Amino acid sequence: MVFRDDTGRREPEWLTLGQAARFLGVAQSTIRKWSDQGRVPAFYTPGGHRRFRRGDLESFLARSGPGRQQAGPTVLLVDDDERMRELVRLELEREGYDVQEAASADEGLASIESRKPELVLLDVMMPHVDGWEMLRRIQEQHGAGAIPVLMFSGQVDDAARRQATSSGASGFVGKGFDLNELVEQAKAILPV
């Protein structure tokens, strides 16, 4: 079956992971998570690729899209390490936060444009565009302090901590951290 948009253009009924993520305005990792949790139905091709029915995505948006009640305050987690994102996301969701994920600064900035979070947890060390540059772009586009940013990194030296403070971040946690420390700082900045 093929749908037609408002301009009469033909659109497929089944969407790939990337198309579905764009349709919902979230990162691919987020829709993967929702699919794994059963929140968004998916079909798997014989090759193991996910496909999403447009009608299911529209129903999902109607149930939980913008303006609908969320689990809690929205946190955007930006880190290129998928395992680290999963650990932090699970802990934050356990505390009652609604967590969006991004695997790069570019994904994170796009996510902010589609759905502004109340807090950003941002890894300093990422390829291409690092956390410091992403912080600068967030402040440039939304104003310094408009979106609190908690930086984290494998660097635990005082220079990185001072750079976070001087750059306008709301906090800094060394990445060799106890996960509870990151969650506690997030809760101090943005209570559930």
Digit-coded pLDDT (tens) for 132-177: 899 999 999 988 888 999 998 876 667 778 888 888 899 888 866 6
Answer whether 0.75 is exceeded by the pTM: no
Strand (E) positions, the chain? 2-4, 10-12, 14-15, 43-44, 50-53, 74-78, 98-102, 119-123, 149-153, 171-174
Q: Are residues 102 and 158 in the same domain?
A: yes
Last residue of a domain, one of 39, 64, 89: 64
Print the domain residue range for 96: 74-189
pLDDT of the residue at 182: 86
The rounded distance, in Å, linking the Cα atoms of 148 and 75 is 10
- For the chain, give the number of residues: 192
CA distances to 2, 78, 99, 178 from 181, rounded to whole Å, are 50, 17, 17, 5
The CATH number of residue 79's host domain is: 3.40.50.2300
pLDDT of the residue at 68: 47
Last residue of a domain, one of 36, 64, 92: 64
pLDDT tens digits for range 106-137: 999 999 988 899 999 999 888 888 888 999 99
B/e letters for 84-114, b = 16+ CB within 10 Å, e = fewer, are: ebeebbebbbebebbbbbbbbbebbbbbbee
Report residue 122: phi and psi, to 5°. -130, 120
Q: Is 105 in contact with 120 (CB distance < 8 Å)?
A: no
69 within a domain of the structure (yes/no): no
B/e letters for 34-62, b = 16+ CB within 10 Å, e = fewer, are: bbeeeebebeeeeeeebbbbbebbeebee
Q: Residue range 83-108: average pLDDT?
A: 89
- Residue located via tokens 């030296």: 157
CA atoms within 13 A on the CB side of 22: 4
59 within a domain of the structure (yes/no): yes
pLDDT tens digits for range 9-29: 556 788 999 898 888 777 788
Q: Are residues 147 and 129 in the same domain?
A: yes
* Tokens standing for residue 173: 């946690």
Q: Are residues 92 and 175 in the same domain?
A: yes
Q: Are residues 23 and 111 in the same domain?
A: no
Split into its structural domains, the chain has a count of 2
pLDDT above 70: percentage of residues in the chain: 86
